Amino acid sequence: MKDHINGTRDEKRNKGTDHTCSDNPSPMSWDSADIVRYEQSIALKIPGYAHMHDLMDKLLTATIADNNHIRILVTGAGGGKEITLLGTKHPDWSLTGMDTSKPMLDLAKKRADEARISHRVKLFSETIKQLPEDGLYDGATSMLMLHFIQGLEAKKSFLMHLASKLKPGAPLILASVNADLDSPAYPIMMQAWREHMMQAGVLTEEWERFAASLGQTSDPVSAEILVRLLAECGFSRITRYFAAFWVEGYYAIRD
């Protein structure tokens, strides 16, 4: 147990993986990923995935004043989960989605078409910095994407640009993988998360790819650092509303 807790950062990252496979899984690329399989498996990987999104909707609804001109910015809109959920529940809301992955954005467009909300949806394959100026938004979401932005400065730049696109008092609902890879709790949490995924039917190779990605193709930060970043970037009333293993959801208000 001593070695288990005090291993190196790389050793901790790989604890809980199934080492019966001789080849390491290749890193995930959003441009070549199996998008259909991703859509099917993400809800299996995260306990309470649907609940996390339902709470997202309820927090936005409780905060935003009821009128006929609500505009919501959905960052990391690929896949279309937030677009279709908010679009179908709020027929008067207009939604702008952005994602740099074309395959994921194509899936979002498909889902919006199927939900018959495309006339209220704009999708952009841009970064937040490149997003066309189109007035300030009444609220925003950033669900499960911040940990893919590499480095604190890049995360801070993203959050600052996001804040600049929101009206004062506008809510932000953000969910991400928040983990201290050097924490003694890290290997234990990962082992428990692995058990959850295996029991839910996630493929072993998908678990291995996910576990290997933390600190490599993804860059999670601790909850403490995330809260500090949000405050530094112009957000207040920062409150955690969801947690499952290393996945956390936060509610915040643009100052």
Residue 90 has a pLDDT of: 96
CB 59 within 8 A of CB 251: yes
Residue with tokens 């993988």: 177
Cα separation, 50 vs 240, whole angstroms: 17
Cα separation, 34 vs 94, whole angstroms: 29
Number of H helices, E strands in the chain: 10, 7
Adjacent-strand bridge partners of 243 = 248
Residue with tokens 């890879």: 181
Cα separation, 99 vs 74, whole angstroms: 9
Residue 40 has a pLDDT of: 75
Query: Which whole-number Å values give the CA distances from 103 to 16, 36, 210, in the listed order?
Result: 30, 10, 19
Does the structure show a pLDDT above 50 at 12?
no
Cα separation, 183 vs 241, whole angstroms: 22
- Exposed / middle / buried, residue 32 (Cβ in 10 Å: 0-12, 13-18, 19+): exposed
Does the structure show a pLDDT above 80 at 168?
yes
Cα separation, 203 vs 201, whole angstroms: 6
pLDDT digits (tens, 9 = 90+) for 18-36: 322 323 333 444 454 556 6
pTM listed for this prediction: 0.87
Residue 111 has a pLDDT of: 95
Could you give the percent of the chain with pLDDT greater than 70? 85
Instruction: Choose among 28, 3, 13: nearest CA to 181.
Output: 13
The average pLDDT across 107-131 equals 96
